[in-house]
Chains A and B, each alone.
Chain A
């Protein structure tokens, strides 16, 4: 475990890894909520098995200014948010350099927690302002030649079909807009016993774990 200027960061021993593969883990636990801890532990164990380098941010410990909706990251400082002095640019860089992004979040109203959203709103600099059509729908053109795979793990206080459905649709929409090559979603309840938790994560995240582990899914 390394300490980082913007909060705790987890880095797996670099001598044991496949240096070609990188994973960014964003933990969106809200202040005072420790229910995500066992899920993060299980996730890290699975990722370590794939021997990927892991960079993690506990977002609640990372002060980030809100996106000002100015689009200057497209027109004034192309590819960079104009806000300096916080971890916004660093997280955007970590994301685009990763093979896999894992979003671990409590599901709030069916979506990501505010701690995840504060980072997500700051990454539109990774695409171009120009429009393109995908399956008849408009999206932005790519700035970079490739984008990471996306895995999202959402934790609910109790089973909730509606919020699980909304969460899945949100992740699907993000994957489409970020042009992610592979996507996986896992929705679970807080307090799921560790063996079941590990099995659900392994099953639901199989396609992205294979992607980052260099296996064929």
Chain B
């Protein structure tokens, strides 16, 4: 029997190798690879040309597990992910899929509370069913910017629970089970306390602005 295959679609618009969604998705993929799955990675902003989009749809069509790892944009899936989902659902409806594929979604957001991701996770669940996937479940993560776009192991102890949750998700996927609630419970444990995260965030914006020489213009209202 040939190895099971997993396809990761990264929904971030950030360049490959720099985003939090990619760090999360890659960690899960590595665990699935250790379990014997063959892996393939796509970035949604690189799948806009018809031939790239076709390659993505074909890879997903032949995959046993489809992982969407995406940031939250304005309380929902980003534009390019939404567009890709609309087109993938239409493609799969037009060419009925013989292969049984499961889908899992990882949604991370910038605010510390994972509750912000719940609507987007619900959207992923509806997409999965409409596009003919078996919904294996979704995981939300708050405070995603704490990852800094780095591999989770490199970020260190702070991502311990995140990795723990993704390990549980990988185990479940390898055993053809849905993602257990415990995986979400692990991801719900903050990487850094909320107040510290927002304080560090605010300081970070000021520092970046000072470096760019825009500190005094940071509060500008150019459109009002």
Contact = CB atoms under 8 A, between A and B. Distances in A.
B205 A96 contact: no
A79 B219 CA distance: 8
A42 to B, nearest CB: 25
Interface of A: 30, 66-70, 74-80, 89, 92-93, 96-97, 108-114, 117-118, 120-121, 123-126, 128-131, 137-139, 143-145, 162-163, 166, 169-170, 173-174, 177
Contact of B77 (A117, A137, A139, A173): A117
20 contacts: A69-B14, A75-B209, A75-B218, A78-B217, A78-B218, A78-B222, A79-B220, A79-B223, A80-B223, A89-B223, A97-B223, A109-B85, A110-B122, A111-B82, A117-B73, A117-B77, A120-B73, A120-B79, A138-B111, A169-B119
A202 B79 CA distance: 30
Contacts of A128: 218-219
Contact of A166 (B119, B217, B223): B119
Contacts of B219: 78, 128, 143
Interface of B: 12-14, 19, 45, 71, 73-80, 82-83, 85-86, 89, 111-113, 115-116, 118-120, 122-124, 126-127, 130, 194, 198, 201-202, 205, 208-209, 212, 214, 217-224
A93 B223 contact: yes
Contacts of B220: 78-79
B219 to A, nearest CB: 7
Contacts of B224: 96-97, 144-145
Nearest to A136: B113
Contact of A109 (B75, B113, B123, B221): B123
A185 B205 CA distance: 35
A30 B86 contact: yes
A96 B223 contact: yes
Contacts of A66: 13, 45, 78-80
Contact of A121 (B19, B73, B115, B205): B73
